[in-house]
């Protein structure tokens, strides 16, 4: 997750009650005279040594959901005091599940431990979402709850967008055409044969057996939509494999241009937003906050009116009713690791094993640490992510690069791993 440098600091009282954020100068004074202590380094939060009974000013959290990146913004009146963009792991999760499925499938055809197929004894509950889509909802909800514990947020605005997927493909669509897809009356193969004049899309060979091929390989995120399919002869299909079409046809740019012109814009990002918008809305309602929505058209109007650049966090700031904004002030979801205890190679055979215990001398891989080395060849101060070893000799990914073999006695933790990547 990426966060811009904030011009405000989150403040908690001694009972962990969120208060109105203060200026960094005031936070430094409180820390210097001992009236507060550092509660959190990412995102920087201080905690007072006394209880505050006064009610803080109400704040607004605005969310611009996206398929790959979600924008977050916190407003105090008309002041934009905190913005961030959350990068989702949807494609990474899908790739991991595909890899697991292929490994389990390969076991069934070999004389190894048999894993019985379980696709016949499972029912999907109402409102079921795939893991990659559910991740988008749960991660956004996690940050809404986390920010509500750091700031007195009373209202949450969500951009609730509805996409006409067929109109995106064909802007002139109307009437009964909505009920007839692009393959009305066709099978996919017959449609591709007519579309490609019964010739190989890559070498233009005719009167040969043709196979259905993905223009953008599925291994690279391509879909099985008809707009991403073409017909290819067996030699071309085998030679192309999982290569990018621009690399495969590097010597024939005209053919690449022709094929890409026929392929339409993929709609999987729109479908992801369409599938998760109401699930996210209902989940936000369960937080007990006042929930409001805004349209994508209103968001664009506010951004152009306020002359803000087109970024995910400024899009979030413009969601819903936004009379004015005073701009005062990016995070990536990395996950919490894997439960897989045995790492495998590309053939599904065990290659290495994961230690049973994640913690070594109070540290775990992914913690942000500060290492002050006072002797030896690596004298210096290093801040970054740590990779622990059972021997107590750690690796630190610092700004200077990967520093290997730092003894754990030189390290002290400044932020525990929470599944997100921060700039430091």
Among candidate residues 344, 361, 364, 362, the one with its CA nearest the CA of residue 352: 344
Among candidate residues 348, 67, 94, the one with its CA nearest the CA of residue 220: 94
d(CA 325, CA 81): 10
Residue 142's pLDDT is 92
Describe the crossing of helices 131-150 and 90-108 by its angle, rounded to 10 degrees. Answer: 140
**Residues 325 and 308: beta-carbon distance below 8 Å:** yes
Residue 40's pLDDT is 86
d(CA 36, CA 51): 12
**Residues 364 and 377: beta-carbon distance below 8 Å:** no
Number of neighbouring beta carbons within 10 Å of residue 321: 10
Average pLDDT in the 120-140 region?
Answer: 84
The backbone region for 260, taken as left when phi is positive above 0, alpha when psi lies in -120 to 50, beta otherwise, is alpha
d(CA 168, CA 170): 6
In which element (H, E) is residue 93 found? Answer: helix 90-108
d(CA 124, CA 277): 19
Q: What are residue 14's phi and psi, to 5 degrees?
A: -65, -20
d(CA 327, CA 148): 21
**In which band, very low, low, confident or very high, does the pLDDT at 327 lie, cut at 50, 70 and 90?**
low
Q: What is the DSSP string of 134-162?
A: HHHHHHHHHHHHHHHHHS-EEEEEEE---
DSSP-based three-state secondary structure for 294:
strand
Residue 104's pLDDT is 77
Bridge partner list, 231: 212
The angle formed by the CA atoms of residues 326, 330 and 335, to the nearest 5 degrees, is 140
Q: What is the pLDDT of residues 227-281, one digit of tens each?
A: 788 889 999 999 988 888 888 888 888 888 888 876 665 567 777 887 888 899 9
**Residues 386 and 417: beta-carbon distance below 8 Å:** no
Q: Name which CATH class applies to 191-262.
A: mainly alpha
Residue 6's pLDDT is 54
Which residues lie closer than 8 Å to 137 by C-beta, 6 or more apart? 129, 276, 279, 280, 283
**In which band, very low, low, confident or very high, does the pLDDT at 171 lie, cut at 50, 70 and 90?**
low
Whether the per-residue pLDDT at 115 is higher than 90: the answer is: no
d(CA 245, CA 216): 7
Whether the per-residue pLDDT at 140 is higher than 90: the answer is: yes
Q: What is the pLDDT of residues 404-421, one digit of tens each?
A: 989 888 888 888 887 777
Residue 291's pLDDT is 92
Peptide bond into 244 cis (omega under 30): no
**In which band, very low, low, confident or very high, does the pLDDT at 173 lie, cut at 50, 70 and 90?**
very low
Burial grade of 345 (CB within 10 A; 0-12, 13-18, 19 or more): exposed
Residue 5's pLDDT is 46
Average pLDDT in the 159-182 region?
Answer: 55
CATH no., domain 1-116+130-161+265-334? 3.30.420
CA atoms within 13 A on the CB side of 254: 2
Which token pair is 79? 């002041």
The percent of residues above 90 in pLDDT, for the chain, comes to 21
**Residues 415 and 41: beta-carbon distance below 8 Å:** yes
Which of these CATH numbers, 3.30.450, 2.120.10, 2.30.30, 2.40.128, describes 355-419? 2.30.30
Among candidate residues 274, 268, 316, the one with its CA nearest the CA of residue 163: 274
Residue ranges per domain, the chain?
1-116+130-161+265-334, 191-262, 355-419
DSSP-based three-state secondary structure for 235:
helix
DSSP-based three-state secondary structure for 244:
coil
Which residues lie closer than 8 Å to 330 by C-beta, 6 or more apart? 1, 2, 3, 4, 84, 85, 87, 313, 423
């Amino acid at each position: 997750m990426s966060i811009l440098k904030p011009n405000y600091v989150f403040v908690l009282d001694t009972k962990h009650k969120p208060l109105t954020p203060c200026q960094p100068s005031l936070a430094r004074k409180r820390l210097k005279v001992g009236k507060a202590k550092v509660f959190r380094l990412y995102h920087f939060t201080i905690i007072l040594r006394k209880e505050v009974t006064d009610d803080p000013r109400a704040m607004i959290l605005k969310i611009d959901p996206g398929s790959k990146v979600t924008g977050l913004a916190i407003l105090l009146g008309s002041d934009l005091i905190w913005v961030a963009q959350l990068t989702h792991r949807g494609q990474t999760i899908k790739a991991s599940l595909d890899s697991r499925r292929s490994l389990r499938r390969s076991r069934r055809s070999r004389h190894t431990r048999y894993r019985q197929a379980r696709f016949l004894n499972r029912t999907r509950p109402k409102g079921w979402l795939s893991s990659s889509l559910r991740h988008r909802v749960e991660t956004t909800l996690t940050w809404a709850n986390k920010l509500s514990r750091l700031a007195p947020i009373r209202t949450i605005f969500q951009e609730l967008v509805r996409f006409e997927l067929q109109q995106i493909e064909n802007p002139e669509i109307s009437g009964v055409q909505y009920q007839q897809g692009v393959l009305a009356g066709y099978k996919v193969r017959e449609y591709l044969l007519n579309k490609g004049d019964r010739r190989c899309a890559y070498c233009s060979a005719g009167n040969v057996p043709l196979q259905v091929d993905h223009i953008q390989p599925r291994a690279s995120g391509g879909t099985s939509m008809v707009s991403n399919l073409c017909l290819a002869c067996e030699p071309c299909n085998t030679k192309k494999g999982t290569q990018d079409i621009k690399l495969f046809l590097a010597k024939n740019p005209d053919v690449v241009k022709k094929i890409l012109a026929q392929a339409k814009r993929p709609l999987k990002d729109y479908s992801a937003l369409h599938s998760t918008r109401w699930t996210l809305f209902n989940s936000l309602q369960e937080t007990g906050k006042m929930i409001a929505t805004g349209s994508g058209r209103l968001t664009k109007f506010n951004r152009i009116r306020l002359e803000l650049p087109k970024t995910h966090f400024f899009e979030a700031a413009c969601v819903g009713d936004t009379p004015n904004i005073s701009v005062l002030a990016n995070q990536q979801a990395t996950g919490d690791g894997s439960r897989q205890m045995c790492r495998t190679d590309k053939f599904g055979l065990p290659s290495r094993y994961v230690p049973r215990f994640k913690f070594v001398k109070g540290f775990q891989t992914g913690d942000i640490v500060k290492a002050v080395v006072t002797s030896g060849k690596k004298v210096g101060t290093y801040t970054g992510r740590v990779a622990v070893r059972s021997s107590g000799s750690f690796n630190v990914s610092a700004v200077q690069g990967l520093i290997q073999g730092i003894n754990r006695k030189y390290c002290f933790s400044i932020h525990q791993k929470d599944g997100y990547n921060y700039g430091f």
